[in-house]
Amino acid sequence: MNHLLYVYMDESGDLGKFGSKFFTVAAILVKDPIELSRIIKKVRQKKLKKTIKQLPEVKANNSDVRTREFVLKGVQKANCSIFAIVVEKNQIMKHLFDIKNKLYNYLCGVLMKRLPLDCKKLEIVIDKKHTNTLLQEDFNKYIISKINQTNKDMSIEIFHKDSFSSNGLQVIDFIVWAISRKFNAGDDYYYKLFESKITNKEDMNVWK
């Protein structure tokens, strides 16, 4: 059993009635977050133009092909596991769109239940979706309760951070972007760069 594991989570798409066809939530599980930090540090040193290096964070949506390839190939080489769920929004009951926060919590809970959390302590870092502390607390309580159903003695800490302050969140941004691009745009080029790291790739679609 590991003493400590780290999880970085992010989503792509939206939970509105319209907008993207699919909503994606992904997590990367690592023993050592330094591996993820190295990817971002190297891409800043080697691949980014001087003007882009001044930006506070590296984002998949704003990056060129070389940068995306470098990050995702780095993920492929890293000692990590990726888990994702993809939701086809037309299969969501309409009334759930009116309680987006609860729906979001539920989907993140589904994702977390799929992770092999063989550790004494878990640190979860999630891209700050809510600035409202009550919504953050509601998310934390829900996720912790779900994990504790099968891991009662585990110590769990959840941090809501801005992605510019976390290299791990910047890495998961590229991953969830690539997965979303595969489902929403039918372009799996970037997805294939790290596909073998996705542990649950055969059952990503929640309601398939």
**Domains of the chain, each with CATH number or no CATH:** 2-203 (3.30.420.10)
The one-letter amino acid at 148: N
> In 3D, which of 139, 60, 49 has the Cα closest to residue 102?
139
Beta-carbon contacts of residue 23 (< 8 Å; ≥ 6 apart): 11, 12, 13, 14, 15, 86, 87, 89, 107
How confident is the model at residue 12, as a pLDDT?
Answer: 94
- Tell me if residue 144 falls in helix, strand or coil: helix
- Tell me if residue 197 falls in helix, strand or coil: helix
User: pLDDT-based confidence at 192, cuts 50/70/90?
Assistant: very high
Share of the chain above pLDDT 70, in %: 93
How confident is the model at residue 104, as a pLDDT?
Answer: 93
The token duo for 34 is 């330094």
CB 92 within 8 A of CB 103: yes
Share of the chain above pLDDT 90, in %: 63
User: In this model, does residue 97 exceed pLDDT 60?
Assistant: yes
**Mean pLDDT, residues 70-80:** 96
Angle between helices 34-46 and 167-185 (to 10 degrees): 80
**Mean pLDDT, residues 141-147:** 95
**Mean pLDDT, residues 48-75:** 82
User: In this model, does residue 130 exceed pLDDT 90?
Assistant: no
**Mean pLDDT, residues 90-119:** 88
Query: Where is average pLDDT lowest: 33-42, 88-97, 148-157, 187-196?
Result: 88-97
